[in-house]
Chain A
Amino acid sequence: MNPRAAVLELPNDISAIETAVERAVHCCASARLARSRLMFNFRVGLTEALSNAILYGNGGDPRKRVWVELRVQSGEVRACVTDEGNGFDPDTVPDPRLPENIPRPDGRGIFLMRALMDEVHYNELGNSVTLVLREGTRAAP
C-alpha cells in the first residue's frame, strides 16, 4: 500500500479525546496490524499522549489546540501528538512500578506509552511525542 497521512486538530478538551482516538483508529485500519494491537495498544497509547498534551502540555488552557499527525503504511502506524506548551523532560518522570509509587493515583501515562508502543520519541522541547506501532514486534501485550 502507499503510505497514507492525515492530520487531526483537537480543542484542548479531554472530552474530545475518545472521538479523536476512534477517528485515528479508523485512519489506521489499512495498516493491517493485528486487531488487538490497534484496538488496545494504539488506543491506550494515543489516549495517553492526548491527555498529557491537553492536561499538562497545554495546562488545560481552552484557548490552545492539539494536533495529531498520522502516517500509515502496511505494518506500521505513526502518530505524532503536538501541543502548544513549553514541553518537559520525559526522563525525569519516576518509575510507577517502584514500591513507593504503586499506591499513587498518577504517574503511569508515559510508562504505558513506552510499554505498549514499539517506539516513543519526544522532540527536543518536549511538546511533541511520536508513537510508533508495528506488526509483529515486541510491544506488550
Chain B
Amino acid sequence: MSKRYLALAAVIFTLSPLPLWADDAAEDNRTAEDNRTAEDISARMQALETALATQQSRIDTLEAERRASDERTQAAQDEAQELKEQLAETRDSLDVLITDAMQIETRDMLSVYGFFDVTFLKSFFKQKNSLLKTQHPPYSTFMMNNINLFFKSELTQSLEVLLETGLSFAPLGHETHLESYGIIDGKHVPGILGELDKSYERVDTSVPGGIASRSIRYGSISIVRAYLDWKPLDALNFRIGQYLTPYGIWNEDHASTVLLTVFYPHVMNWDLLPETQLGLQMYGSVFPADSLKLDYAVTFSNGRGPIDTVMDLDENKAVGLRAKGTWSHGDWKIALGGYGYYGKYTDLERRAEIYLNADLTPDETSGSALGSRLYTTKKYKERVLVSDLSIAWKGLHLFGEYAFRQLEFIKHPAENPNYQFVQNGNIAERYVPNSIGRTFYAMLSWTLPLEKWTHVGVTPYVGYDGHHNDFMTDWYYQKTMHVGLNVRPSPYVVVKTEGIVDLFSERLGGRMTSIAGQLAVSF
C-alpha cells in the first residue's frame, strides 16, 4: 500500500507545473526563443513553399516540354510512316514503269496503208459525133482509177523508207491504135488517110487462169515512189530514189482522198512537169518565227525521158528548186510557193555495128571490128516554172496553181501519126514544133461549220481549170469549170459529187458536160 502511494506521488510530482512556477525568468526567455524559432520556421516554410512552387513550375514546364516532345515524336513517326508508304508506292510505280519500258515502241517498223477510189462518170457531148468520144468514156461508167498501197518503215529516228505502188487494170483497154476513117460524102474511103486508116487495136489482158480454173485478166503494178530518207536535221534532209516532184499543191497531195475534185487538174493530166523523178533530193524546213515556216527542196535527177526510171539517155541531169513560205496566225494560213525545173529529154536508139572491109573481112582499123552507135531520135530542153498560192481562213480555202512550160527542140521528131489531127493527110514532113504550155487553176471551197452538230465534214466548192498549149494549134485549149460537194463522214472516207463543164474548140467537139461521183477511201 505505501509503495503505491509513493509511486503515485512521484508521478504527480513529475507531471506537476511546479518547475515552471519555480523559474518565471527562464520561462520568459524560452518563450522569446520559441517565438524566434516559430518565425524562423515560418520563414523557412515560406522559403520552402516558394522553392516548392518554383519546382512545381519547372515540373510543369518540363511536363509541357515532354508532351510537346511526344507530339513531335509522334508527328515525326507519322511523317516517317507516310514517307515510307509513299516510297513504297513510288517504288511500285517505278517497277511498273520500268517493266513497261521494254514494251513501248515509238517507231513504225513497217506500216502498210493506202487508198482507192471508185468513180462514176456520165458525159454529155454537144455534138453527136464529137471527137471527144474517142478520148472520154462515151457512155456512163464506173471506174477504179487509183488503188495505191504504201509501205513505210522507220528504220531509225533519222532513216525512213517509203514505197508507194499503184495497182491498175492497165493495160486492159489501152487502145494501141485508134482507127481513123476518111469520110467523103458520108462514106468511108479506105486508104485515104494512109497509116492512120488501119484496123482498130486494143489490149485485151484476158488469159486462161490455168487448168480447171476460170480465165483471168491480169493487171499491172506501177512504182509511184520508192526512196530512202535520211533526216539528220529539220533543215537538212536527203532523199534518194524515185520521188514525187515537189511542185505545187496537188502533185504531192495526189490521193483521191485528199484532192478536192474528182479528177486531177490539167497541170497534172498534161504532164507539164514530170510527176516523179529518179535521183537525189535535198530538202528541209526552217522556222524564222513562230508563225512562219520556210521549206525548200533541191532536186537532181534523170529528168524526163522515155525510160527515165530505168536509165537516163543523156549526160544532162535535170535540176529543180522548190521554195515555199507558210504563214500561220490564228485562223489564217497563207502559203506561197514556187518550183523551177530545167532538164533535157533525150530519146535514142542504140545500134551494134560490125565494121567490114569490101571483102567482108573484119575492119579493125579503129581498134575493133565491133562497135556501137547511138542515134538520137528526139531531144528537147524544157524550162518549167510553177507557182502556187493557198489562203485559208476558218473553213474557207482559196488556192490555185499556175504552170508555165517552155519546150525547145534540139532534135525534132516526126509527129506521132496515131494522134495527129489530120487536115490534109500529109503528115510525113511535119515535125513537132517548139511549144509553150500554160495551165492555171483556182479553187474555192468552204467547209461548213457544222462541228457543233456533227463530225461529218461538208465542203462545197467551185473552181476553174484552164490549159492551153500551142504544141499543136492555136485552137487547142481546154477550159473546165467545177461545181461540187465533198462529204466526209469519217476521216477515211470521202464522197464527192461534181458537175463538170469542159469547153473545147468547136473543131474538137465543143462543150462536154459531165456529172461525176466518187467514193474515195483511205485505209
A binds B: no
Question: Which residues of B does A touch, CB under 8 Å?
Answer: none
